[in-house]
Structure 1
């Protein structure tokens, strides 16, 4: 299982939210480049980034910093947040993003996902962010009436290879992931599932690894030092 250390960008800095609430944002690191370099030193093979400003505004806002991280750190990066059209997807991939995550756009505009998958294949991932089993959109501000499993199956039919699943009620809480909901999605679709939200310690990583998931995203636990990224990577690799 791949461990994806997370960097959420707001106003050019790394922040963490609590249950997706923008008003709860706390700066956890001023310099995204040095933070990403620390992830690399710990053995990370992939970084998960979210442009929070982009998620709220509907277009990418922190591209300059993201590009700097790509150039300096030289690790693959998956990016989500405010990516709503094919031109933006193309520009990000040209800028060096390894995997583009579609969230709100995937729900509101499935034709965009079809076009993107047709054009860019496994460079396209879909983020399913759910609360009480229903998909949330627009920076998690609105809740749809779409069940997260049904949505996952629809994305699978389109040809999406990677799904990032987040239980919003767990995100940034350090209370453990929603193992049940994550496991159910993993059993329901053939896509690679990346678990996100709530990871607190190495025991959570061990459980997620045993569930045969593709990956797990951890952010707050790294910054709060309740988890050693180095150890988590080793557990994920089965070392």
Structure 2
């Protein structure tokens, strides 16, 4: 079954429109969205009613600070939808804290060292996903033990009991420019875990293509807010659209 997760990029307790990972330029989502006249994350979730959401706490990811308003909102969203949370996790203490807020934790190469990832998987088997973070063709990482090649990272992760792997190309986020089909196909073939894609999704044709090459899910925001993908895809299986 192919899954589409609604992306919630939260900054100062507002939902923002993320473009190319240039976080200092993010604007409130209501300035862009065709489906929402509010930028309050909880209101949007209550209105749209998605099955699954991907939350990026940009206060943590960008400023390494905890915004208590974000935390309160994330707790409330978890009561409305299955929640994947990227909280900029750096330590095992961060893992324990974030585990109380979300169903699944996302540990990104941009923030998390391999040692912390392994400890998290040991403590929370089946609840940890890994995000391979890339921008402008370069892997974003804080640990030299993590390879610069996404295929080599996949091989490194194959032996770990993680839920799935997100390949997140930040330079494509918010651009609707599509994705690297050749590379993504290689990642799927190499991985023993499900692959989810984030960044560049244009429309339902992209969703169908991802499904055909074996990707198990997509993170979507721009294509939903501009109407290129119907909101109903967040509630039903892909079979409804193929």
Give the TM-score taking structure 1 as reference length. 0.86
Q: Secondary structure, in 3 states, of the residue corresponding to 1:122?
A: coil
Q: Is the 8 A contact 1:166 1:195 kept in 2?
A: yes
Contact 1:8 1:15 in 2 (8 A): yes
Contact persistence 1:160–1:191 (CA under 8 A): yes
Residue 206 of structure 2: aligned partner: 204
Q: Is the 8 A contact 1:86 1:112 kept in 2?
A: yes
Quick one: distance in 2 between partners of 1:174 and 1:204? 10
Instruction: After TM superposition, give the deviation of residue 132 of structure 1 in Å.
Output: 5.0
Corresponding pairs, count: 226
Instruction: Write out per-residue CA displacement over residues 166-202 of structure 1, whole angstroms, 9 at most, x where no aligned residue.
Output: 1222111012122222221111111111111011111
> Is the contact made by 1:78 and 1:98 (CA closer than 8 Å) also made in structure 2?
yes
2:192 pairs with 1:190? yes
Secondary structure in 1 matching 2:159: helix
1:112 aligned onto 2:116: yes
Indicate conservation of the 8 Å contact 1:122/1:160, yes or no. yes
The 5 A counterparts of 1:78-227 are 78-95=84-101, 97-103=102-108, 104-106=110-112, 109-137=113-141, 146-227=148-229
Aligned partners of 1:192, 1:228: CA distance in 2, in Å? Answer: 24
Tell me by how many angstroms 1:225 deviates: 1.8
Q: Conserved in 2, the CA contact under 8 Å of 1:54 and 1:82?
A: yes
**Any conservation in 2 of the 1:113–1:158 contact (CA below 8 Å)?**
no
- How many Å apart are 1:156 and its aligned residue? 2.1
Name the structure 2 match of 1:37: 46
Once residues 164 and 83 of structure 2 are traced to their aligned partners in structure 1, the CA distance between those partners, rounded to angstroms, is: 14
Is the CA contact 1:177–1:198 (under 8 Å) kept in the aligned structure 2? Answer: yes
Give the strand-richer structure, 1 or 2: 1
Secondary structure of the equivalent of 1:157? Answer: coil
Quote the offset at 1:235 in angstroms.
5.8
CA drift of 1:158 comes to: 3.1
**Residue 126 of structure 1 contacts residue 160 of structure 1 at CA under 8 Å; is this kept in 2?**
yes
| Match in the other structure for 2:83 | 77
SS of match in other structure, 1:217? strand
Single out whichever of 84-93 and 6-15 deviates more from structure 2: 84-93
Tell me by how many angstroms 1:13 deviates. Answer: 0.6
Gaps of 5+ in 1: 139-143
Instruction: Determine the C-alpha separation between the residues in 1 that align with 2:164 and 2:23.
Output: 26
Distance 2:97 2:87 in 1: 14
**TM-score, normalised with respect to structure 2:** 0.85
Q: Please point out which of 228, 231, 242 is paired with 1:229.
A: 231
Across the aligned residues of Structure 1 and Structure 2, the Cα RMSD in angstroms comes to: 2.1
